[in-house]
Each structure stands twice: as structure tokens, then as C-alpha cells.
Structure 1
């Protein structure tokens, strides 16, 4: 009898069902929330920081313009964005992730989903969003930003309004993208960099998004 080179692992088989369950619950819940803006940013931003207040204000304006807000459901910028949406009685969605160091959901979420798998959660951030706002943050925020840019660049999603807020924070990275990646090595194009709008003005951010209604719908091919 031939021994299979890879041992059987029934845990992997059952993991497939947990993954499917996260997708099904996410699709069923978020397909009913209406036009929304996904907001990414650091979990470590304190409530008295200017970026926290910026996130509150841009979320308030988003709701006033007919959008709900989707965040990662945690503290910091995520809390601020959900808070701003709740202040205007708008749709406030949190996609919480289970971590070894427990990330507790913030108190301003009206619709919450819990995820064990980052990749399921990432799909939900973009599947039903009309635009993406990226506030200052760490590795997680960078991951979310560059994945969004890659999906748009490769046309796995339709072009989305993509706004970076906090120009002082982003300056060094944008200089490097322009000089090293684009100008020196030609690894990206000017057109790729033009996908991003940079502003410190919450009103300008929402006006930019609102004027691009024809780019709001995410490709049906993105799952």
C-alpha cells in the first residue's frame, strides 16, 4: 500500500466550511447595507488626536451625502469613523477580526461581523463599497491600501475613488513611490499614482467621492 506523501488533516477540511460560513454571512449582511465608504486607519490613534477628529468629521459628512461607513470595527481611527456615522444616525458597519490579543469592537457599530480569516474580511471591505478612505496607520493599513491599489490596477475591481487623508503622514511614502518606484525604476506608472486623491479636508474628500458616481460599483467578478 502506497503511503500518501502528505498526511491527512481533517482540520483543513473543516476549515473550508468555516471560511464558507464567513463569506455567506458577509455577503448576506453587507448586500443590504446600501452605498457605503470603507475607511481604513490605525487602531492606536487616541481620541484627542487630529486624525481621530478628521475621521469623525469625514464620516459625518459621508452620512450626510447618503453613504454608510464600513470599518475594521476596532479602536482608534475605526472607532472614530463609526462614531461619526452614528452621530448622524447612519449605517455604521464594523468588520471585526479575532486576534491573539483580543480586538474588542468599538461601541459605535450598528452592524457587526466577526472574522477569523483576514482574507474573508478583506473581500467584504471592498465587495460592497463605493469608495475607500485611508487614514494614517501601520502595517495593517498599508496592507489594505496596497491591496486596494493592486486590485484596481489589475482591474479585479472597477476603479474606486481612493482618498488618502493626512498629507503630512503620507508625504514620505508618496515621495518614494514617485521617485524610486515610478521615476527611477518604472515599476509603476504615473497612471497608477493618479488613482489616489490626497487631502486634509473632509469636505473635499466626500465631494471628490460624490462626483464619481459612475465609478462606485465594484466589479461583479470580485469575490
Structure 2
């Protein structure tokens, strides 16, 4: 039995996309030519293999229990190696303590007057002028969107919907698995970091009339899904 996709999502959301030991975000930003690099690993506390570190803890456990999210911890690659190389220090009890403390720390990041919406309020999207070819910094501008994640943590399952102003036009939706903090541009179905250079000036090009507005749907680090409509109004998705 392998770790399920649902279990993986639980681990990543509970951990806020950060290593439970060093607290580093385990995702690097994308470049104009490459996708983000993920160096987070779902590590077993009690090992999946009988020959793994802390294997004595397998006694009496089923494979389903071993692959359950309660027995998994999100670590960066270096910390994962450290944990497995030093099992006498990183015991089963110690790893559960680390996981619990990290989860409490992640949850505390949202403790404000309106805790559920604290991160979501910092995530938005709007129509903007982008590069028609993100790989070519000299390519002509085109209409696209900017996604801004002004929080300190990533958001997940981000749906950018290009809603047509005229009803006869088709709806286009771009789905992004993870959006780290920062500004990101959407061109067609490509997503890339906003360049440091000055924004493109539409008055220097003969830009076609914009035919859409944007709406946004995403899941925060607490596992809550949100929708921001074309007017910018934020609402929880049941």
C-alpha cells in the first residue's frame, strides 16, 4: 500500500509547505524557463521498510497505519537524510514532538482577529499585461493575469479563471498546484515570476481590448478553500 494523494495533501497543508525541522519552505520559485523545484519529502516516522531507521516501531502496525498521515512528517531533503542517519536522536517520540510543535507553529501564524482569513486576504489576482512568450523577455505583450501571494506561506490548488465579459466567449481556467509567496504572471497556461524590470507599458503597443475579468480559487495552509470574485470579494468555499 502506498501513501495516498489525499494523505500527501494533508501532510503538505498541515506543514504549511515547510520543513518541520528547519522551517524552510520546501519549494523554490520558478524561473522564466523552468517550473518550481520541490525539495520537500514525506518522511515516515516509523519506516515503511523493515530495514529502515526506527524499525522496531513497526511491531504491531499495519501497512495502512504506517502510511497514515499521523506517521508522516514533511521534511526538506537535508533534514530527511539527517533524521534517517541519526535515529538514536530522532526517535519516534522525538519526531512526533517535532511534528506537533511545527503544526502548532504553522497554525499560530494565522492567529489574528479573523484567523481563518488572514492568509487568504493576502492572495489576489487581476488582469494584467504579460509576455506572450515567457521564455523570451523581448516577446510582445499580451493580456494575462497577475497572481499576488503577499502572505509568508504558499497556497495550493490555485485556479485562475478568465471569465469572459461577453457571454458567448469561452471560459479559460489555469490550475497551479502551488503558488509560493510573491508576484506571478499567467500567460496562456504558463506561469512565471514577475520580472524585476519595469512593467510593460500598454501604450507602447497596439493592445487588443481586454475581453475578460479574473476570478480566483485557492486553498490556504489551513486547508480552507477560498474564492475571490471579479470584484475582489473574498468568500469561504464550503
Do both proteins adopt the same fold according to a TM-score greater than 0.5, normalized to the shorter chain? no
Per the normalisation by structure 2, the TM-score is 0.26
Per the normalisation by structure 1, the TM-score is 0.27
**Structure whose residues are more often helix by fraction:** 1
Q: For the pair shown, which has the larger CA radius of gyration, 1 or 2?
A: 2
**Structure whose residues are more often strand by fraction:** 2
